[in-house]
Every structure is written in C-alpha cells, then in structure tokens.
Amino acid sequence: MSKLSRLSAALALTAGGVVCGSYFLSPAPAQDKQKAPAPAAAKWEYRVVPMICAGINTNGTEFALNKLGEEGFEVVFTTPTKAMDNNNKEQSVVYYTLRRAK
C-alpha cells in the first residue's frame, strides 16, 4: 500500500471517528426535552382481615368483603394458611390484605 493510500485511509477513519463520536456524545432527542414532574405517589391505608374457611359456605366472607368494598377497600392479595383452633383442630384461615387510598 502506498503512502498516499495509507494517509487517505487514516484520514477517512479519523473523520469517521469524529462523526460517530459526536453522534454518540450528543444527547438523544428524548433527553433534550424538559422532564415533566413525576406525579405524587399514591398513599394507601392497609388492613389485614383473617377469615376462617368453614366449608363451601362463603356468604359470610362475601358479606364482609362487600362491606369493606363499600368503605373503599380493595383486595390486594390473599394468604391461605392453616391454624389450630382452641380444640387443637386444624382449620383453614385466609388472610385478606386490603387497601384504600388515603
């Protein structure tokens, strides 16, 4: 390769590097805009309600949850567990975690 070819190649690579470098160092178009202030984080009031599962009759559970729903609560998640009653019999208990906006 001749001196002129090597010089031309080096000049082309340098020019390409300058162009690419200026492209990557400039802020992205989305970064040019002013960021809008973030909305205020919601504040929640939580309540944990344990309910004993007594067979397939869910009327009491539905009544209690509907009453809490009228107060503005919503179920976030449930945690089913087993617990011992006063007679050392195992029973199913579901803990309902509810929340409502403050």
Question: What is the tens place of the pLDDT at every residue in 30-62?
Answer: 555 677 776 778 899 999 999 988 766 677 888
pLDDT confidence of residue 11: 46
Which regions of the chain does DSSP assign to beta strands (E)? 44-53, 74-84, 90-101
Give the N- to C-terminal CA distance of the chain in Å, as an integer: 77
Which regions of 7-89 does DSSP assign to beta strands (E)? 44-53, 74-84
Our measurement of the distance from residue 62's CA atom to the centroid of its chain's CA atoms, rounded to an integer in Å, reads 28
Task: Write the pLDDT tens digit of every residue in 81-91.
Answer: 998 888 888 88
Could you tell me which residue, 70 or 27, shows the higher pLDDT?
Answer: 70
The model's pTM? 0.56
80, amino acid identity: P
How many other β-carbons are positioned within 10 Å of the β-carbon of residue 73?
Answer: 20
The domain locations on the chain are 3-32, 44-101
3-state secondary structure of 78: strand
